[in-house]
Amino acid sequence: MSKNSPAIILSCPQMGENIGASARGMLNFELQDLRLVAPRDGWPNQAAIDNGAGAFDVMSETPVFDALPEALSDCHYVYATTARTRDMVKPVMDVHAAMKDARERHAQGQKIGFVFGPERTGLENNDLSHCHALIHVPTAPDFSSLNLGQCVLLIAYAWHSSAIKESKIEIKTGDADPVTHEKMEELFLRLEGELDKARFFRDDNLKPAILRNIRNMLLRAEITDQEARTFHGIISALIGNKTQD
């Protein structure tokens, strides 16, 4: 975990449980610079430790500050998370835009801070005046109650996943070898032969199209060498010729 990775600053958090959940969510996504401003129930806090699932054993010590500006002293750019939009002249970003912006600043060596307000009220306008930009997490209008720990988790996840330049899909084959075209061809030809014998193709005119469909279907499945052998076994079983299995 980079020393320069973003700080998560909880301003006046009320419930220890949420501090614990925040720490846990941060570590899940490789953040560990947690800072507390005037936590209601003091610090250290047993409820936080209990709900942290070991997070505080892994994290370096969590500093506690009396006021928000002190907690931000080494930060170059600070984003405040808010549920409501405010009557305030300030850039408002959605999460994706904020992370793109933060990644660019981080790459330039800037220390980033993400500030979260207390559970009940959120950040006060005075706190917001210490922050450069607002992050708005859009939630369902009729059920928008993200709790503090969940909100920190989402921001930590969004930060972590913003490092992934391109999304990817890969087919896991484990130890299995993909099948060669030659063996697929053997399989197709055998299947075609057996279907012929079984009078599967009632209309000779349709036969080429049906064969193409079957071929497309099996290629799309990107089957493995082992699976091709299994398929031979299936054909053998269905035609009642166990000796070819």
What residues make contact with a copy of itself under the rule CB under 8 A?
Answer: 1, 24-25, 27-30, 53-55, 58, 85-98, 100-101, 133-134, 138-140, 142-146, 150, 153-154, 157, 160-161, 164, 167-176, 222-224, 227
Smallest distance from a copy of itself to CB 21, Å: 8
244: Cα separation from own chain's centroid: 47
224 closest CA partner among 169, 168, 174, 170 = 174
Smallest distance from a copy of itself to CB 225, Å: 11
Smallest distance from a copy of itself to CB 135, Å: 10
Cα separation, 23 vs 59, in Å, equals 8
Residue placing its CB nearer to a copy of itself in the complex, 38 or 92: 92
134 closest CA partner among 70, 73, 89, 103 = 89
Determine whether 145 is exposed, middle or buried from the number of CB atoms within 10 Å of its CB (0-12, 13-18, 19+). Answer: exposed
Token couple for 59: 């994290």
Smallest distance from a copy of itself to CB 214, Å: 20
Residue placing its CB nearer to a copy of itself in the complex, 23 or 71: 23
Residue placing its CB nearer to a copy of itself in the complex, 54 or 193: 54
Residue placing its CB nearer to a copy of itself in the complex, 137 or 210: 137
Residue placing its CB nearer to a copy of itself in the complex, 89 or 217: 89
Smallest distance from a copy of itself to CB 76, Å: 16
What is the torsional sign of CA 110, 5, 134, 138? positive
Which H helix or E strand runs over 133? strand 133-136
Smallest distance from a copy of itself to CB 42, Å: 25
Residue placing its CB nearer to a copy of itself in the complex, 94 or 185: 94
89 closest CA partner among 134, 56, 53 = 134
Smallest distance from a copy of itself to CB 245, Å: 21
Which H helix or E strand runs over 113? strand 112-116
- Spatial CB neighbours of 45, under 8 Å, sequence gap ≥ 6: 16, 19, 39
Beta strands 112-116 and 77-82 are parallel
Residue placing its CB nearer to a copy of itself in the complex, 174 or 240: 174
Token couple for 63: 């500093």
